[in-house]
Amino acid sequence: MPRRIPFYVCDSFTTTPFQGNPAGVFFDTGATLTGDEMRRLAGEVHLESAFVLSSRAGDGHDADLRLRYFTGVCEVPFCGHATIAVLFALLARGEIQPGQTLQAATEAGILTIGITDSRYGVLHPKMPTFGGPLTAEETKAVARALGLTDREIGRDPMPVQQVSTGTPWLLVPVQSRETVDRTPTDFAAIAALSEKHGTFGCYVFTILDPIAETTDSLTVWSRCYAPIAGLNEDPATGSASAALGGYLAQHGVLPVAPGKDCSFTVLQGFAGGRGGTVGVRAERDHSGTLCKIAVQGEALVLSEGAFTLS
């Protein structure tokens, strides 16, 4: 009996067609697809894709649905922009309403996801984990891989560091917007760097506004490279933006007071010709412990159809 797999293509973190980050969303509620078939389907549409599977228990909690994420090269534990795309595909199918939240089981744990009344997709990833800051020599190697000088990389008080909210990224602060725009020069070197540090790629960023006590207008300008996963440049990356929220709070750049939250905006990928806008919020509990990261953005459904597999 042929299997019919509905799919959608969405542009996430934008309301403009052909901007933001495109994602495939496949619905396999009968759980008939193998992991290899999911990878091949993602490769067929040439998009990092989310696969919506039947609900299951995960990590000791009941979930409303299960998500797996693939590129045409590999499985990814957590993909932010594809999760936003799932929400808008569910909205198009009438399976979620504005103001509703869901629990999604992923390879990176349980996520709370939903659509606000103002039609923003919101996700709460797992809390960030931090690798040790890179040494001076390791930081120089990162600069060389990105085609930068030693002086262009790093910005006090922010080191080059591996951070993960489910998918690990190497966060690379640089001195200016112009420096971000000039990267990269050697994707093979970035892939080798990713393998060495156990990440999916490099997230290069700078703070556009001065670092100050108030960050009401804090804006980050960034680009993200993941050639090891088959994505030379990822235009708008939710998982890396979430990691950045934890990183900026950890290093005091985002001054989140106990019992309070603080937000900032990420403008990613515009230098590469396809940009998206990501909202990030970090929150501390009353003891001062970072307790929540939220990523939000808009999206639009560009197309829908179905694959028929034997």
25-38 per-position pLDDT tens digit: 999 988 899 999 99
Residue 213 has pLDDT above 90, yes or no: no
End-to-end CA distance of the chain: 7
Residue 114 sits in the same domain as residue 212 = no
Of 48, 152, 233, 298, which one is the catalytic site residue? 48
178 is catalytic: no
Residues 6+ apart with CB under 8 A from 115: 87, 88, 91, 96, 97, 98, 99, 100, 121, 122
Q: State the Cα–Cα distance between residues 123 and 56, nearest whole angstrom.
A: 19
Q: Is 280 helix (H, G, I), strand (E, B) or coil?
A: strand
- Which pLDDT tens digit goes with each residue over 40-66? 999 999 999 999 998 764 444 579 999
Handedness of CA 107, 165, 43, 230 (dihedral sign): negative
Residue 23 sits in the same domain as residue 44 = yes
Determine the structural domain holding residue 199 and report its residue range. Answer: 129-297
Taking residues 154-176, what's their average pLDDT? Answer: 96
> Are 108 and 78 in contact, with CB atoms under 8 Å apart?
yes
Residue 34, amino acid: T
Match 């052909």 to its residue by tokens.
18
Give the model's pLDDT for residue 209: 66
Give the model's pLDDT for residue 30: 87
Residue 263: which CATH number?
3.10.310.10
Residue 248 has pLDDT above 50, yes or no: yes
Give the model's pLDDT for residue 57: 42
Token couple for 133: 């800051």
Residue 74 sits in the same domain as residue 190 = no
Token couple for 238: 């939710």
> Are 139 and 153 in contact, with CB atoms under 8 Å apart?
yes
Number of domains in the chain: 2
Residue 153 sits in the same domain as residue 140 = yes
> Are 296 and 33 in contact, with CB atoms under 8 Å apart?
no
Query: Model pTM?
Result: 0.94
Q: Confidence band (pLDDT; 50, 70, 90) for 217?
A: low
**Alpha helical stretches, state H, 46-118:** 80-92
Taking residues 70-85, what's their average pLDDT? Answer: 97
